[in-house]
Amino acid sequence: MGAPANDALQPALAIDPMVVDAATRAFDDLAAKWLAGEPSSAKRAALLEAVVALGFADALPAPDGREAWLDAAAIIRAQAQAAAPIDMALLLATGDRAGSIAYDPGRYACAATAGAAVDAAAAAALALGRCLQISGAMAAALELSVQYVQDRKQFGQPLAKFQAIQHSLALAAEEIAACTAITDLALACAAREGIAAARLPALLDGAAVVANRAVDVVYDVCHQVHGAIGFTREYALHRHSLDLLRWRDALVLLRGGELRAAERLGDRAIGAGGVWRAVTAQMKPEISA
Amino acid sequence: MRFHFPIFDLPPETEALRAEVRAFVAEELAAGRWQRGGDFASNYDPAFSRRLGERGWLGMTWPRKYGGHERSMLERLVVTEELLAASAPVAAHWIGDRQSGPLLLRFGTEAQRETFLPRIVRGEIFFSIGMSEPDSGSDLASVRTRATPAKGGWNINGQKVWTTFAHRNDYAIVLARTGEAGATRHAGLSQFIVDLKAGDVKVRPIVNMAGQQEFNEVIFQNTFVPEDRLVGEIGNGWHQVTSELAFERSGPERYLSCIRLVEAALQAGGGTPAPRLREALGRMSAKLVALRAMSIAVAALLQKGEMPNLEASLIKDLGNAFEREQIAIFRGLMPELAAPGAEYLGALAETTIYSPSWTLRGGTREILRGIVARGLGIR
C-alpha cells in the first residue's frame, strides 16, 4: 500500500495461543515463581485450580499483571488443547475429570451457580477461563480431524480429497476462528481494564453466544468426518469433544443460559439505539494500551 | 488453529474520525440527499462520492503525492464501516477506492498513478472490475478475452459479463489472455486499463432479479488499448489479481449487508420489545463483534505490510453466511414487531432479493471454503 507499513502497530493481545510446549514451560515458570521450588504435579494442579476456578486474575500477583494474565490464558488454552488430565475446577464442582467420557448436563447448573455465587468478578474470570478452554479444545478437535481425514482412505483416496469433507472442516474452522476472536477480545479487555471492566460482561455474553453455536458445529463436523471410530472410547476424539460439551455448558450457565446472554445483548443494542452503536461501544477500550 | 486473527484495538484517535463520519451521515440524511438502502455494489451516487472526496475519505491510505491522505488502514476501516452501517450510496467509488487504486499503487507505472489516482481520490472517475466472462466464472484462469499486440498498444477481443456499473463507470481493469496458459493455467494473463467511454467498447445492460440495471455485458471488438494502459508486467495478471484478495474479502461489506434490516426491526420493536426480538438482536451483535474483531485484525495486518489472503477468505465466507442467516431470522420476527413499517419491509424485500448475490460476488461460498480447506492443509 501507499502508506508506509506501520511497525509501531502492535496487537493488543500478543499470545500465540496454540503453542502447547511454550505454554507448558510458561506454566512451570509460573509454578516455580509462585509456589517456590520445582513444580510438582500437586503444585501444578493447585495452580491450575487457582487459575481456572478462582479467577486467574486473583490468583496471580499484581506487579506484572498483564503479562501474567496472558501467560495464564495461554496455559489454560494449551492445557485444554492437550485435554489436560485434570480440570480441577470441574473436578471440585462436579466430580468430573476433564477427558473423561462422562457427560451429565445437570451437573453444570450446580457448578455455574457455585461459580456465580463467589462474586461477579470471579464469575467473569471463570467464564473467561471457560472460553479459553473451549477455544483450545475446539482447535484440538479440529487438528485431530484434519489428521484423520488425511490418513483414512475410502474409495481409493484419502477422505481429505472429497470436497464435502473439505467444506465441512472449513465450516468448523470458521466457527472456531470466530469463537477464538471474541474470546481473545474479552481476554484483552480483562487483561488491561481488569476483571471488573464495565464492558467485559457484554463481551462474555457475546462469547457465550458465539461459543454455544461454535461448539455445536465442531461437535457435529469433527465426529462426522471421523465416522464410527470417533464414537469409541479408545479413540481420542471424545477427550476433546466431550470436554467441549462440558465446558460449553459451564460457560453458558455461568451467563445464566445462552438465551439470557442473548437477551441482555439485545437490550444493550436497544438501549444504545442500534446494534451497530452497541457493537462499536462494546469494542472500544476504556483504557488505551 | 491454522488461522491467526490477532486482536488489535482501533487507535483512540479513530474515535474522533468515527464521530465525524456519523455527523456527516446525519447531516446528509437530514438534508434528504439520499435514502438508506442498497449496498456497496448497488447504491450509486457520484455526487455523494465527490462529497466524500472533499472530506478526504477516498484514497485515504494512499501517498499524498497522488492526492491520497496517508492515513492508516484502520482509519479507512472506520470510514467504510460507518458508511456501510448507514447504508450510504458508496457504489460509484467503491471499486476504485478498494481495489483499482491499490492495484495501480502496487503494480502501475508512475504515469498511471499520476493520471488516475488523484481523480479517484476526488471522486471524479469510477472503476469496474473486468474479470468474469460467459465461460469463466469462478474458474478465472479460463478467461478467453485476448489482447494481441498492435501498433502502439494492444487490441482486445472478447467479452466480459456481470461487470457492475460498466454503463456508468469510466474505466474497467480487464484481465485478458496475452500468452499461453502453461501447466498451472495461471501464466499468460495480463491486466489493462480500458476506457469504457472511448466508444470502441460495447456495453449491454443485464437487468437483475430486483429489476435494476447494475451489471452488464462488455464486449470488445478490436478495442484498442494504448501501450501505457498495461498494468504491471505482461503475463503477471494472475499474481496481480490474486494479490489483492485480502483487500477485497475482509472488509465490513462482507458482514454488514443486512444491517439496515436489523436496525429497522429494532426501531419497529416498540416500547416493550418482544423477547424473541431482543434475543435475535443479541445473537446478531455477538457474532458481529467476532466478525468485526477478525476484520480489524486483517486491516491491521495489511497496515503492517502482510497479505492475509487466507484469513480474508475465511471472513468473507463466515460473514456472508451470517448475513443470510440474519435475513431469515428477522423475517421470522415480523409478527413480533409492534410496527413493521416501510423501512423494515423495504429492507426485508431488498436484502432477501439481493442475498443470493452476496455469496457469489467476490468469491463464491464454494471457492472460499476450498481456500479455507487449503489453509487447513487438506487441499
pLDDT tens-digit readout, A189-213: 887 787 778 999 999 999 999 999 9
**pLDDT confidence tier of residue A250, bands split at 50, 70 and 90:** confident
Residues B204-215 as b/e (b if ≥16 CB within 10 A, e otherwise) read eeeeeeeeeebb
Query: At which residue does the C-alpha cell 472503476 appear?
Result: B127
Tell me, rounded to whole angstroms, the distance of Cα B286 from its chain centroid: 24
Q: Contact A3/B61, CB-based, under 8 Å?
A: yes
> In terms of residues, how long is chain A?
289
Which of B236, B166, B215, B217 has the alpha carbon at shortest distance from B194? Answer: B166
- Domain extent, residue A32, equals 14-283
Query: What's the pLDDT at A239?
Result: 85
Is A88 part of any domain?
A: yes
CA–CA separation, B97 vs B82, rounded Å?
A: 16
CA–CA separation, B164 vs B313, rounded Å?
A: 21
Query: What's the pLDDT at B361?
Result: 94
More confident residue, A8 or B202: B202
Query: What's the pLDDT at A2?
Result: 41
> In terms of residues, how long is chain B?
379
B204, β-bridge pairs: B217
- The number of folded domains in chain A is 1
pLDDT tens-digit readout, A69-95: 666 677 777 767 776 544 444 444 444
CA–CA separation, B166 vs B126, rounded Å?
A: 9
Amino acid at A170: A
Query: What's the pLDDT at A78?
Result: 72
Name the active-site residue from B81, B248, B311, B336.
Answer: B248
Q: For residue A160, how many C-alpha atoms fall within 13 Å in the half-sphere facing its CB?
A: 19
Give the percent of chain A with pLDDT over 70: 61
Is A9 part of any domain?
A: no
CA torsion sign, A281 to A283 to A285 to A289? Answer: negative
Is A46 part of any domain?
A: yes
Q: Which three cell numbers stand for residue B274?
A: 418482544
- Catalytic annotation on B20? no
Is A154 part of any domain?
A: yes
Q: Contact A265/B366, CB-based, under 8 Å?
A: no
Is A106 part of any domain?
A: yes
Is A4 part of any domain?
A: no
More confident residue, B143 or A12: B143
Tell me the shortest Cα–Cα distance from A144 to chain B, in angstroms.
11
Is A269 part of any domain?
A: yes
CA–CA separation, B128 vs B225, rounded Å?
A: 16
CB A169 within 8 A of CB A142: yes
Residues of chain B found within 8 Å of residue A169, distances taken between Cβ atoms: 373, 376, 378
Nearest chain A residue to B263 by CA distance is: A274
| Consecutive 10-residue averages of pLDDT for chain B (379 residues) | 86 94 98 94 96 98 98 96 98 97 97 98 97 94 96 98 97 97 93 96 96 96 98 96 87 96 97 96 98 96 92 97 98 97 97 97 96 96
Is A138 part of any domain?
A: yes
Q: For the domain that residue A22 is a member of, what is the CATH number?
A: 1.20.140.10
CA–CA separation, A170 vs A134, rounded Å?
A: 18
